[in-house]
């Protein structure tokens, strides 16, 4: 995940057209690593940038935070292609 994390960070810094998807994917990585607040922040940013799948991820991560059911993390949407 570390290499993917760096790649998404670089895409954001470079102003890639896929910035929203990159924030979303960072959120998925944070969720998998257990940092749910950072995941929520990244999904919120992705949503605000118009990445619609982030809305679903926000709902999932907030449910995880509310219920402590980490099995729900498997429902997160990861954007594989830009």
pLDDT in tens, 3-45: 888 888 887 877 776 899 999 999 999 999 999 999 999 999 9
Length in residues, the chain: 82
pLDDT at 80 (0 to 100): 67
Under DSSP, the state recorded for 50 is T
Q: DSSP alpha helices (H): ranges in 1-82?
A: 2-13, 19-33, 36-48, 53-67
pLDDT at 30 (0 to 100): 96
Residue with tokens 């940038």: 49
64/6: higher pLDDT: 64
* 7/10 Cα distance (integer angstroms): 5
Give the pTM. 0.83
Environment class of 61 (CB within 10 Å of its CB; exposed 0-12, middle 13-18, buried 19+):
buried
Model confidence band, residue 1 (pLDDT cutoffs 50, 70, 90): confident
pLDDT at 13 (0 to 100): 79
Q: Mean pLDDT across the stretch 49-57?
A: 93
Residue with tokens 């498997």: 74
């Amino acid at each position: 995940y570390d290499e993917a994390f760096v790649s998404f960070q670089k895409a954001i810094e470079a102003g890639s057209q896929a910035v929203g998807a990159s924030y979303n994917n960072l959120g998925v990585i944070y969720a998998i690593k257990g940092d749910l607040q950072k995941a929520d922040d990244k999904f919120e940013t992705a949503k605000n940038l118009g990445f619609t799948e982030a809305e679903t991820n926000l709902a999932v991560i907030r449910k995880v935070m509310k219920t402590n059911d980490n099995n729900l993390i498997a429902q997160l949407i990861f954007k594989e292609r830009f």
